[in-house]
Amino acid sequence: MADVAKTKRAATAALLIDDYYELSHRILRLGNRGLPRGEFLREAFALLIEASGCDAVEFRLRDGDFCYYAEMTAGPAGNFRFGIIEGIAHEDGNVLPCAADDTPTERLCRDVMRGAFEAGHPYFTEKGTFWTGSAGETSVKASSANGKIPATPYPLDGDYKSLIVAPFAVGEEDVGLLLLKSRQKNYFGRTEAEFFEGVAQNAGVAIADRRTRWRLGERVKEMTCLYGIAEVASRPGISAAEVFREIVRLLPPAMQYPDITVGKIVIDGFVYTTEEGEDAPYKLSSEIVVNNENRGIVEVQYKEAKLDYEPGIFLREEQSLLDAIARQIGLILENRQAEEERARLQEQLRHADRLATIGQLAAGVAHELNEPLASVLSFAELLQDDASLSSQGAEDVEKILTASLHAREVVWKLLFFAREVPTIKKHVNLSDSVEEAISLLGSRFDKENIECVLALSPKTPEIVADPAQLHQIIVNLVVNAIQAMPDGGKLTVRTAADEESVFLTVADTGVGMSEEVKKNIFLPFFTTKEVGQGTGLGLPVVHGIVTAHGGSIAVESVPGRGSRFQVRIPLPSPTDVNESGDDG
Ligand code: ADP
Ligand code: MG
């Protein structure tokens, strides 16, 4: 075949690389190197220009709905262009890699692609390549035997006076065109047309090869990225911020041009990026959606535009990859959220469990102490009545009595906390209870320089509760609030109701609580107050009572700003009414 190619070489041909096989091999080897498209075409064009001595090489390729073209002009001033043309539709439904323009060159390309020339045409090879011949100098005619195409001249009156238009297949179905252009008239002959028709065919193979290799390379990068994300997300104990910092670093290597790529993730307003500063000009992004809620974006940015234009600057595959990454991040967030919720519930359960255990223990101790305390108290009272007691003795008995009463108070609170005290439930109005309790504490407010604001809803529906216990709740919360404002402040007590519950809110502008303190306030004997100031039983008792009434208690606090306790007690259901004794 080499001999055939050689003998076919015309004397007029300007073939500078004389071996067809050498040129073809070089192009095939280029395809094998897995270069990005732009680089591949540049090098292949340089070879073709060198081999043919022509002034420009153009290449067109159909790829799905798009057609790419690339052109390189020879010489020191030669430049390389790459872009997209909107191909025109053939009657068979396929897109032709030809522009809709009605220039002679475009018409020529179109007619070659449509197979408008008959095999016997003087400037038409058996395999379908057309070249401009000598007839009519710069114009040629296509004539169709079946009369489909009228004889049409192609007056090549532009820069180029001679052309070869060689169609080729890429892979199995893609269709491309290779054009060689010369400024000289009659530059090409049949030999050159046949030579480059073969080269074009091999270029098609090289293109298919390059694409496969390159796509494989891109797939490997994608898989590496997605695998990396899964690996990061599954690291035990890793924080969400660390996950995103790691993922953002995996983005650039997954793109076509890692060196000029900036990765960026924005989640709930937090930004993670591989490069601080202004956004780069070319961006591709995908939204991160968690439980149907848009939480942010994952984005890649190119600092400069590269040659390998797709319909945009980025590849379609890169958009799909980014979408996949966004979905994966969404899933990671969803999982983390679910996990946090689980941990919170577990902590709540543990807390309740701890309280119950302590309650049982406390109740046991309280019962044990109750008996001896009762004896101490009654004997001390007996002693008090003894007329023969010295004044020193009377003073001592007084101390015994005070101390025992205090001890009994503690025991009583413990029993309350452990819900060991029988409750007497009645229909009561929360706002009335608050007013009553506050009036008893009233004198303390002025003394402590506290402004007390009551915002009592007159419309709170009646609840079924133990009035003494309700009183306990209010007094405990208000006393805590007063104690939290040693330098004075504002106390607000509010009542409200909705269809299901009544609410009591006690807010102060006092010292507030740290997270650590807030975690422990319902534990019995937890106190931050000095001995004599607090027993650490107030809030556990409140908690016990509220729970016994089927309600709940919520706390908000900011250190240095104040605290707010809200108690919710459900309204009675119609079957709930019970005026008689009941141990809750
Ligand atoms: P005590 O008042 O006897 O310390 P409590 O159970 O009533 O016990 O309260 C437990 C702890 O919770 C207190 O020692 C205090 O640290 C904190 N606390 C309760 N209420 C408030 C409040 N309104 N502001 C700041 N801290 C509070
Ligand atoms: Mg207290």
Mean pLDDT of 338-359: 81
Greater pLDDT, 43 or 36:
43
Centroid of ligand 1 to alpha carbon of 538 (angstroms)? 8
Mean pLDDT of 182-205: 87
Q: How confident is the model at residue 8 (pLDDT cuts 50, 70, 90)?
A: very low
Question: Do 333 and 267 meet the contact criterion of CB atoms below 8 Å apart?
Answer: yes
Task: Spell 119-155 as b/e; 16+ CB within 10 A means b.
Answer: eebebbbeebbbbbbeeeebebbbebeeeebeebebe
Q: How far apart are CA 521 and CA 358, in angstroms?
A: 14
- pLDDT, residue 142, reads 52
Alpha-carbon dihedral of residues 101, 110, 116, 134, nearest 10 degrees?
80
Centroid of ligand 2 to alpha carbon of 480 (angstroms)? 5
Q: For ligand 1, what atom is nearest to the CA of residue 562? A: 24
Query: Does the CB atom of residue 548 touch ligand 1 within 6 A?
Result: no
- For residue 574, the Cα-to-chain-centroid distance in whole angstroms is 48
- pLDDT, residue 583, reads 43
CATH value of 2-213 in 3.50.30.10, 3.40.50.2300, 3.30.450.40, 3.40.1000.10: 3.30.450.40
- For residue 61, the Cα-to-chain-centroid distance in whole angstroms is 38
CATH value of 214-339 in 3.40.190.10, 3.30.360.10, 3.30.230.10, 3.30.450.40: 3.30.450.40
Query: Does the CB atom of residue 539 touch ligand 1 within 6 A?
Result: yes
Q: For ligand 1, what atom is nearest to the CA of residue 536? A: 8
Centroid of ligand 2 to alpha carbon of 416 (angstroms)? 14
- pLDDT, residue 175, reads 82
Report the largest interatomic distance among the alpha carbons of the chain, rounded to a whole angstrom: 151
Q: How confident is the model at residue 481 (pLDDT cuts 50, 70, 90)?
A: very high
Q: How far apart are CA 52 and CA 493, in angstroms?
A: 95
Alpha-carbon dihedral of residues 342, 345, 350, 353, nearest 10 degrees?
-140
Q: What is the pLDDT of residues 306-343, one digit of tens each?
A: 655 555 678 778 889 999 999 999 999 998 888 888 88
Nearest to 509 by CA among 462, 463, 583, 452: 452
Centroid of ligand 1 to alpha carbon of 553 (angstroms)? 14
Question: Do 557 and 550 meet the contact criterion of CB atoms below 8 Å apart?
Answer: no
Q: What is the pLDDT of residues 105-132, one digit of tens each?
A: 888 888 888 877 777 777 888 888 888 8
Measured from the Cβ of residue 91, the count of other Cβ atoms closer than 10 Å reads: 6
Ligand nearest to C-alpha 507 = 1
Three-point CA angle 566, 570, 572, nearest 5°: 155
Asked if pLDDT for residue 170 goes beyond 90, the answer is no
Choose the most confident range, by mean pLDDT, from 196-210, 463-477, 520-534.
Answer: 463-477
Helix axes 538-548, 391-417, angle to 10 degrees: 40
Pairing verdict, β 293-302 and 261-267: antiparallel
Q: For ligand 1, what atom is nearest to the CA of residue 526? A: 10
Mean pLDDT of 181-201: 87
- Please tell me the least confidently modeled range out of 307-311, 325-329, 493-497, 539-543: 307-311
Centroid of ligand 1 to alpha carbon of 254 (angstroms)? 56
Q: For ligand 1, what atom is nearest to the CA of residue 481? A: 23
- Tell me the average pLDDT of the chain: 83
Question: Do 82 and 199 meet the contact criterion of CB atoms below 8 Å apart?
Answer: no
Choose the most confident range, by mean pLDDT, from 105-114, 181-190, 241-250, 314-323.
Answer: 241-250
Domain range list for the chain: 2-213, 214-339, 423-570
Q: How far apart are CA 29 and CA 31, in angstroms?
A: 5
The token duo for 559 is 């250190």
497 φ, ψ to 5°?
A: -155, 150
* Domains 214-339 and 423-570 agree in fold: no
Pairing verdict, β 261-267 and 270-273: antiparallel
Q: What percent of the chain has pLDDT over 90?
A: 33
Ligand nearest to C-alpha 532 = 1
Q: What are the DSSP calls for 276-323, one per residue?
A: -SSPPSEEEEEEEEETTEEEEEEEEEESS--S---SSSS-HHHHHHHH
Query: Does the CB atom of residue 477 touch ligand 1 within 6 A?
Result: no
Q: What are the DSSP calls for 354-414, one per residue?
A: HHHHHHHHHHHHHHHHHHHHHHHHHHHHHHHT-TT--HHHHHHHHHHHHHHHHHHHHHHHH
CA atoms in the 13 A half-sphere facing the CB of 504: 27
* H/E run at residue 177: strand 174-182
Q: How far is CA 431 from CA 178, 244, 466, 502, 505, in A?
A: 91, 51, 14, 10, 11
Q: How far apart are CA 360 and CA 440, in angstroms?
A: 32
Query: Does the CB atom of residue 528 touch ligand 1 within 6 A?
Result: yes
Q: How far apart are CA 285 and CA 268, in angstroms?
A: 16
Q: How far apart are CA 188 and CA 551, in angstroms?
A: 96
3 state DSSP class of 391: helix
Pairing verdict, β 562-570 and 270-273: unpaired
Q: For ligand 1, what atom is nearest to the CA of residue 540? A: 6
Mean pLDDT of 133-149: 49
Centroid of ligand 2 to alpha carbon of 478 (angstroms)? 9
Pairing verdict, β 450-455 and 489-497: parallel
3 state DSSP class of 463: strand
Helix axes 37-52, 190-233, angle to 10 degrees: 160
Q: What is the pLDDT of residues 63-76, one digit of tens each?
A: 777 788 888 998 87
Asked if pLDDT for residue 145 goes beyond 60, the answer is no
Greater pLDDT, 35 or 507:
507
Asked if pLDDT for residue 288 goes beyond 90, the answer is yes
- pLDDT, residue 309, reads 53
Q: How confident is the model at residue 141 (pLDDT cuts 50, 70, 90)?
A: low
Phi-psi region of 579 (alpha: psi -120 to 50; beta: other; left: phi over 0): alpha
- pLDDT, residue 505, reads 97
Query: Does the CB atom of residue 484 touch ligand 1 within 6 A?
Result: yes
Alpha-carbon dihedral of residues 141, 144, 147, 153, nearest 10 degrees?
-10
Question: Do 205 and 178 meet the contact criterion of CB atoms below 8 Å apart?
Answer: no
Q: How far is CA 290 from CA 84, 103, 269, 287, 294, in A?
A: 37, 53, 14, 10, 6
Q: How many residues does the chain have?
A: 584
Greater pLDDT, 262 or 188:
262
Question: Do 123 and 130 meet the contact criterion of CB atoms below 8 Å apart?
Answer: yes
Measured from the Cβ of residue 283, the count of other Cβ atoms closer than 10 Å reads: 15
Span 423-570 CATH architecture? 2-Layer Sandwich (3.30)
- For residue 136, the Cα-to-chain-centroid distance in whole angstroms is 66
Question: Do 129 and 194 meet the contact criterion of CB atoms below 8 Å apart?
Answer: yes
- Nearest residue (by CA) to ligand 1, atom 21, is 480
- pLDDT, residue 576, reads 53
Q: How confident is the model at residue 580 (pLDDT cuts 50, 70, 90)?
A: very low
Q: How far apart are CA 123 and CA 416, in angstroms?
A: 109
The token duo for 117 is 């020339």
Centroid of ligand 2 to alpha carbon of 528 (angstroms)? 10
Three-point CA angle 240, 241, 242, nearest 5°: 90
Residues in Cβ contact with 518 at an 8 Å cutoff, skipping those fewer than 6 apart: 555, 557
Question: Do 108 and 117 meet the contact criterion of CB atoms below 8 Å apart?
Answer: no
**To test the ligand 1 pocket, which listed residue (417, 527, 557, 558) has its Cβ within 8 A of the most ligand atoms?**
527
